[in-house]
Amino acid sequence: MSGALSGLLVADFSRVLAGPYCTMLLADLGAEVVKVERPGAGDDTRAWGPPYAGGEATYFLGVNRNKRSIALDLRADADLQVARALAARADVLVENFKPGTMDRLGLGHDALRELNPGLVYCSITGFGSGAGAALPGYDLIAQAVGGLMSVTGEPDGPGTKAGVALVDVITGLHAALGVMAALRHRDSTGEGQRIEVSLLSSLLSALTNHASAYAAAGVVPRAMGNRHPSIVPYEVFHAADRPIVIAAGNDRQFQALCAALDRPALARDPRYATNPGRVAARESLVADLDAALAERTADEWFDRLTAAGVPCGPINDLAAAFALAEDLGLEPSVELDGVGQVANPIRLSATPPAYHRPPPALGQDAAWVREILGR
């Protein structure tokens, strides 16, 4: 079965996470992705271990399946000419070099547009190509200066990063969406265009309600631990054996929660009748709910509250999270050449993602790439 993007050639000049995640999504959907890497070392994440699987760092394995690899020294004229030939043949180019680098190499958008007018050229930067061009595009830096750490962690803490390089992932998703939009435009007009996606802009967009609170009302949100600034109860509570999360997002769910806890009086308390009232009376309500939840285990409450229509769940580690996804029939993992991979989360009824090639060894597809380029 052909993928939705079959027939597209993607020249992938990116490394680490945001760019490779974007191009892996395109590859899963059928695009032919050629990953251009440094000779001898390759993508930085090839060395980011432990852990390893099959001799490769799992970091690299996680974002580079379904791709081909060629090692090119872009400082050497012969290799640079191969890179230019690849870009001239490609439908899409993705790069995340420091702004200005591709231009100096003769691989910038303006130069390549002369060779390939239909090229969709996607640049991923940390802080844009203008005044922020010199700033280092690391996820941790973006989480810090972009406000994410200020709303993550405990109220009196120093600020906490997310447990994964979330800004890189979000930026990769935005880049893939931009590529899709530009390809749709090219299908209509024959014209390519340049896409620029930055870590900072992607993060500000992804901060959604927090960013809107500032943009629309001038409110600067602060860290609240596991609490929600606008919804109560929507946080971590304490069952008899371990924590459980409850997210009662409306009055009906709150009433169902009180009934399932055998605390109907809480639903009748005028302080708790509406969500704004519950936000104002957060401390007393949380204490009342914790007292009720201490009577049963987290698993017992999960079954009981779920049956009552109350959104809730225990705090799982990744092993339990994968097990839950398996139990729900979501098929969260696949295996390629004996190495486990996280499945693409997009389900398409006619052209589903496919897993046909494990992450490549450095330079393993050089002969194939040179053949299609006549080099």
State the catalytic residues: 168
| Residues in CB range of 351: below 8 A, 6 or more apart | 1, 2, 3, 4, 29, 30
Q: Are 95 and 102 in contact (CB under 8 A)?
A: yes
Cα gap 88→146, rounded to integer Å: 36
Tell me the CA distances in angstroms from 339 to 21, 123, 222, 238, 345, one per residue in order: 18, 31, 41, 38, 18
Query: Where would I find the H helices in the chain?
Result: 18-28, 58-61, 77-89, 101-104, 109-115, 139-145, 166-189, 199-206, 208-217, 251-260, 264-268, 275-280, 282-293, 298-307, 318-327, 366-372
| Residues 193, 120 contacting (CB under 8 angstroms) | yes
CB 181 within 8 A of CB 173: no
Q: How many CA atoms lie within 13 Å of 350's alpha carbon, on the beta-carbon side?
A: 3
Residue 312, SS3 per DSSP: strand
Please choose, from the candidates 84, 97, 95, the residue with its C-alpha nearest in 3D space to the C-alpha of residue 120: 95
Q: Are 275 and 251 in contact (CB under 8 A)?
A: yes
* Whether the Cβ atoms of residue 281 and residue 271 lie closer than 8 Å to each other: yes
Name the DSSP letter for residue 294: T
Amino acid present at 37: E
**Of residues 282, 371, 296, the one with CA closest to residue 82:** 371
Question: Residue 335 gets which letter from DSSP?
Answer: E
What's the chain's Rg over C-alpha atoms?
25
Asked if residues 340 and 332 have their Cβ atoms less than 8 Å apart, the reply is no
